[in-house]
Amino acid sequence: MDIIDALKIIIARSPRAAETAVRTIEAARHNSPVLQTRYANVLIMALADPEATFSPAERATLATAIEAPETISREFMLRVRLTEQERAELQQLSEQDGIGMSEYVRRKLFG
């Protein structure tokens, strides 16, 4: 099963992840370099959705569309000046999502 087929199942079965899955299909059609990461995030959201109606077989099949991530070397550092209030808000938002501030910013910028 390819990612687009897997995303179509997610759209049909997970109300919480459907909108993000649609955006991820668009990213797939534009050959997004972070497609695997986006798909993994959608899948996590979908599998955690209490309203999702996946069968056990569908859950297993959706997981097969995830490829092992390549080791990504991030060598460029962008320095951004924030007020203390902005930094605190960024930290709070990233903690709510259970990720670090850098990952939070990358997800907001690149989907």
Domains held by the chain: number: 2
Residue 1 confidence (pLDDT) = 77
Report pLDDT digits (tens) over 42-90.
999 999 999 999 999 998 888 887 765 555 667 788 889 999 999 999 9
- Write out the DSSP string of 11-48: HHH-TTTHHHHHHHHHHHHTT-TTHHHHHHHHHHHHHT
Tell me: do 14 and 49 sit in the same domain. yes
Of 61, 23, 58, 70, the C-alpha closest to 42 is 23
- What is the domain extent for residue 22? 3-64
The model's pLDDT over 18-41, given as tens digits with 9 standing for 90+, comes to: 999 999 999 888 887 788 888 889
Give the model's pLDDT for residue 10: 96
Residues 93 and 58 placed together within one structural domain of the fold: no
Same domain membership, residue 100 and residue 55: no
- Give the mean model confidence (pLDDT) for residues 8-21: 95
Structure tokens at 11: 């759209």
For residues 52 and 22, membership in a common domain is answered with yes
| 50 and 22 together in one domain | yes
Token readout for 57 is: 């077989």
Residue holding tokens 């990461």? 37
Residues 54 and 23 occupy one common structural domain: yes
Q: Do 7 and 60 belong together in one domain?
A: yes
